Amino acid sequence: MQRADAAAPAGGSGGPGIKGTYVLDIEVCQELTVNVGRQGPHRFRRGHYYYVGSARAGIRARVQRHLGHRRRLFWHVDYLLAAAGVRVQTIWVGGLHPGECQVAHSLAAEVGLMEPVARFGAGDCGCPTHLFRVHSGTKRAAAMLAGLGLSACTPGMFAAGVQEDQEHTRDVDG
Return residues touching Zn ion (CB under 5 A): 101, 122, 125, 127
Helices 159-168 and 59-67 sit at what angle, rounded to 10 degrees? Answer: 80
Cβ nearer to Zn ion, comparing 59 with 122? 122
Rounded to a whole number of angstroms, the minimum distance from the CB of residue 125 to Zn ion is 3
Rounded to a whole number of angstroms, the minimum distance from the CB of residue 22 to Zn ion is 14
Cβ nearer to Zn ion, comparing 29 with 125? 125
Taking CB atoms, the residue at the shortest distance from Zn ion is 127
Q: What is the largest CA-CA distance in the chain?
A: 46
Rounded to a whole number of angstroms, the minimum distance from the CB of residue 86 to Zn ion is 22
Cα(122)–Cα(76) distance, integer angstroms: 9
Q: Which residues contact 8 (CB under 8 A, 6 or more apart)?
A: 15, 16, 17, 157
Cβ nearer to Zn ion, comparing 12 with 128? 128
- Residue 149: name the closest of 93, 81, 83 by CA: 93
Whether omega for the bond prior to residue 98 falls within 30 degrees of 0, making it cis, is yes
Cβ nearer to Zn ion, comparing 88 with 127? 127
Rounded to a whole number of angstroms, the minimum distance from the CB of residue 173 to Zn ion is 20
